[in-house]
Structure formats: structure tokens, C-alpha cells
Chains A and B, each alone.
Chain A
Amino acid sequence: MSSSGSSSSQSPPNMASISDVSALFQTAKKYEELNVIGTGAYGTVYKARDLHNGGQIVAMKKVKVALTEDGIPLSTLREIALLRQLEAYRHPNIVRLLDVCHGGQSMERDHQLVLFLVFEHVEQDLDSYLKRAPGPLSENRIRNMSYDILSGVDFLHSHRIVHRDLKPHNLLVTSSGRVKLADFGLAKTYDTEMKLTSVVVTLWYRPPEVLLGVPYNTAVDVWSSGCVLAQLHSRAPLLQGGCDSEQLHCIFRLLGRPARHEWPESAAIPVDSFPDYPPRDLAALLPRAHPQALRLIQGMLVFDPAKRLTALDCLEHPYFTEEPLT
């Protein structure tokens, strides 16, 4: 058999050529970076031009992945595979992932690979949208944005993805005012990376179970969404703590201190370390909000994750069903 085939009739190809060929794949040749549009804890996002697609503007996220003894870590490959798979559904409230590529060989000496995730470019994030809003958002706009957010969250949850970091910076607002979720699905890739320590991670959207260091699940995203929904009404963050314990104080000043039997056994802090705050009325904090909106948000901001509404419950809430969405 060894005499058959064209490659075996010549001397074995010089495999060094593989490195030359990989130069053809340099991402830089496909996308032209324009400017930085966001620097998060784990990567930098650039506005870029897709040179192969008529100069379409895209958002390109650079993530550094540490290579292991056996190449690209399994967890990263799994996460990218899942992101790619999700994309097949083209969910309207999830940012489009257009392409994934890497920076080629040049980083080899550092034992890391630069991954490029190429997303559709969306006008702005919800943080800047709210900051730029000239006045309160209309009730209709709030309701639509709330529904968009919860639809996106429900979609992720139905594919067993927990976002873990829902906040206005990770929600994108299109020019027509639709909201799309971004910055999810790479938790394990991030975990293995050195975080840029200079970047402060906001605690304002963190649920109590995370702050208390107990196990968590999809309910974390419902909490965070609840905080964001409240913020749509007031255009200011609802719970602004400066550190973990301060954030818990903020939470309990709103909800009241949880009863002893509700306190998780494995919590890092005892319940007694908090004063016995009485619950406050959310309506006083969000005076403009529709009563059904308040009820929905209250159902999302429940201390016990098991008693919190699910994203699907939220979508079926009277706030959205009593009157048709426009």
C-alpha cells in the first residue's frame, strides 16, 4: 500500500510548511480594527471592519486563552461549540455571533492563543442608553425592554446556560430599541484566565446567594434581571453596595433581613451579623412604575432562589399579558 498515492510517491512533505500556511489565517487580514469600544475584566472589544463582507462594521472581542499541554483547553472548545450551536437559533434577544477565529501562531511562545469572537455591532449598551436618555423612559419602552431581556434569559436557561453577569453593560440596545444579551457563555474560559485586576467588577446586580458564597443556579440571572428592570424605571441602579457585605446590607434594607430558617446553612456569614432591617416598599423607590411591574420585580427579587420566579414565569406575568406588547 505504501507505493500508492501521490504524497507517498514523493519525499514526505516538509511539515514546517504548516507554520507558513497558518500565516494565511491571520485574523488581521480579515478584519480591520477601528477603535476600542469596551474593556471588560477579561477582554477588549473593538469596533472593526469585516473586509470580506463589504466592510460591514462588527464588534470583535479578543480573549486570551492559555494553552495547555494538550493545546486548547477542552472547556474553551466546549463553550465555543455551544455558542456556535446557539447561534443556529438566531434568537432576536441574543447578540449575533458572526465568526470565531484566532490570531495564529505569533503568540505561541507565550503559550497562549488570542481568540477573536466576532459579533454584530450593536449601537450601544444599556448603560450608555440609560445615561443618555433625556428623561424617564416611556412605560411602553420599559415593558418591551423588560420582555426582551427576559426572553433572552429564558432562551439561555432553556439551553442550560447561566449568564452569571447580567447588567446594563452586558445588555446591548439596537438602534430600534431592542435589547440583546451579550457577554455570556465563556465563564470557564474566563475562570482559567488571569483577570485584569485593575478592572472593578460591579456587585450591584449580584444575588444574595452569590454574595454569601453558596451554590447557585439559573435563578441568579432572574435576580440580576430584576435589578435591571428596576433600573429601567428609575434610570439609576437599585442596590449600590461598595463591597460584598455592603451589597448584602443594601439588599436586606430593601427586602428585610431574611428569617433565620431561610438563611443558607453553608453561608459564609451568620444572619446575626446584619441588623433586623424591616422590608421596604418597592413602590416608594420606583414611584413611576406600573403596579404590575412592581409585582413582577418583587417576584424576581426574592431572597430564596427556589422561591424566585423563573424567567419563563416572568414572561407569563400579567405585566406582559394583561395588555398586548407593541
Chain B
Amino acid sequence: MPYWYYDRKDLQNTPSFRDGIPNDTENRYRKEGARFIIDTGSKMDLGYNTVATGVVYFHRFYMFHSFRTFPRYITACCCLFLAGKVEETPKKCKDIIKVAKSLLNEHKFSTFGEDPKEEVMTLERILLQTIKFDLQVEHPYGYLLKYAKCLKGDKTKLQKMVQMAWTFVNDSLCTTLCLQWEPEVIAVALMFLAGKLSKFEVVDWNGRTPKHTAWWDMFVEDITMELLEDICHQANVIADSMQYPGNASLR
């Protein structure tokens, strides 16, 4: 079974890096590709699951290939196209390309080549091989809802916290967090962050036992404060530097 999680060192020594692309440039490409999937997806009324699946494919793909060999926007299109089929929300390839064209300037769209649809079709097979047909991907969203159900406290505040955590998950798609941690862990960390920022302190939860020191002990074992803060830091950096207003596209 393929394993999709990487440590820091792997994330720095990527195929793109070995191909002469500096890490921060690669991170920007990843962010732009992910953002493009989110924007294309929301323009086509695709749900957050389909969009997130497409983004995860995108990040995994570039752990095996260089951004120099595979320009990011056509890869992004292909990831969204495949995710649409896998999540049973299929969109016609030509329609995705149409939307992509409307979102990109002429120069960027030129990377789609002479026959964009044929290119995407070819890329689909490369993508499938690269992600080893491991098509079903889980996302933090479902876990957020699951965790929220167990937490006790003021309903409005709780709701606000979940909403905020949801937005952080959307933002985290633009980072490589999904290549580092399981969705359960990301959900815990971003809920923790949202709790801190919305000043909602979770003091009690359903299923609490004396062994639990925090609510997440119930769901994920061995989460340290250090880990939570690292994840929040990575997600937060992005949230702060995000130039897009509202983060509303995935609602």
C-alpha cells in the first residue's frame, strides 16, 4: 500500500528542487495550483470534498514530478477533473478547460498546448499512475464535524469556532500539510487554533474519561502541544499571507 506522508527533509528535497526550483518558488507554485483548483471548482459548483480531493492529488503528484516538466495549471485542471469522477460529481473535461481558460491569462493558458483536452487526457493517465490509483482521499472536514458533535459549551460560540476551523482547513489546502499529517490530526490542530482565536475554551465533552487531558485525546493518540503548534503555524502563515478576501469559495 502506498504511503503518502513525508517528513521535512523529503518536502525540501522534491523533484522540483532537484530540478533547480527553489523551495519557496515551489511552495508558491503549490499554493497557486491549489488556489486555482479551489477557484475553478467553486466556479463549477463542485463541493468542498471534490475540490479538496483534487488538491491532495495535486500535492502528491509533485512529490514525484517537477513543476518544470508539468506546468501547474494544466496539472491542477487534470486533478480536479479526476477528483470530479472519483467523488461522483463529474464535469466534462472540455467544460473544466473552458473555466480554466476564463481564469487564466493567455500566457498561462498557453501551457495547455495545442489540444488542451488531449493533453488533459494524457495527463490523467500519468496522474493515475503517479498517485498509484489510490483515489479515495479523506479530508479534515468530516472530522471537524465529528469532533464538534462531542464538544460541550455555548452553541453559538461552538458554531463560530467550527466555522473558523473550516476556513482554516480550506486555507490549509494551499500548504503541504496534507503531505505531512493525517486528516484527523489536521482537524484537531485547526480546531484547537480556532478555539484559541475565537476564545472558546473546551472544558467538557461527551465521552470524557479521567485519562483525558484534552478533548482530542479521545480521537487521536499522542498529540503533543508542540505538534499542534507546528501545524497551526504552518496553516496560519498561509492564512496571513493569503491575498484572497473572505475565503468564501468553499462554503
Offer 17 A-B interface pairs, CB within 8 angstroms, sorted by A: A1-B105, A2-B107, A6-B25, A7-B68, A7-B71, A12-B113, A18-B126, A72-B125, A74-B88, A77-B85, A77-B86, A77-B135, A78-B86, A84-B134, A84-B135, A88-B1, A99-B132
B137 CB to closest chain A CB (Å) equals 9
Write out, one digit per residue, whether chain B residues 110-136 have a CB within 8 A of any chain A CB (1) or not (0). 111110000101111110110011111
Task: Flag whether A201 is at the interface (Cβ < 8 A).
Answer: no
Write out, one digit per residue, whether chain B residues 67-78 have a CB within 8 A of any chain A CB (1) or not (0). 111111010000
**Which residues of B are found within 8 Å of A7, using beta-carbon distances?**
67-68, 71-72, 111
Main secondary structure of the interface of B (DSSP, over half): helix
Task: Flag whether B43 is at the interface (Cβ < 8 A).
Answer: no
Task: Flag whether A13 is at the interface (Cβ < 8 A).
Answer: yes
Interface size for B (C-beta < 8 A) is 44
**Which residues of A are found within 8 Å of B153, using beta-carbon distances?**
none
B69–A21 contact, CB under 8 A? yes
What residue in chain B is nearest A11 (Cβ atoms)? B110
A-B interface, 3 closest residue pairs, ranked by CB to CB distance from nearest: A15-B113, A100-B133, A81-B135
B112–A15 contact, CB under 8 A? yes
**How many A-B pairs with Cβ below 8 Å?**
106
Docked complex Cα distance between A74 and B91 (Å): 11
B93–A70 contact, CB under 8 A? yes
Beyond the given pairs A2-B108, A6-B20, A71-B121, 6 more chain A to chain B contacts, judged by CB atoms under 8 angstroms and listed by A's residue number, are: A13-B111, A18-B123, A21-B65, A81-B136, A99-B132, A104-B129
With A21-B126, A22-B122, A74-B88 known to touch, is A8 a contact of B107 (CB < 8 Å)?
yes
**Which residues of A are found within 8 Å of B122, using beta-carbon distances?**
18-19, 22, 105
A25 CB to closest chain B CB (Å) equals 5
Docked complex Cα distance between A18 and B66 (Å): 12
Docked complex Cα distance between A78 and B29 (Å): 29
**Which residues of B are found within 8 Å of A4, using beta-carbon distances?**
28
Contact of A82 among B67, B90, B93, B136 (CB under 8 A): B136
A5–B86 contact, CB under 8 A? no
Docked complex Cα distance between A275 and B1 (Å): 54
Task: Flag whether A325 is at the interface (Cβ < 8 A).
Answer: no
Docked complex Cα distance between A85 and B138 (Å): 11
Docked complex Cα distance between A77 and B50 (Å): 14
**Which residues of B are found within 8 Å of A113, using beta-carbon distances?**
125
Docked complex Cα distance between A84 and B1 (Å): 8
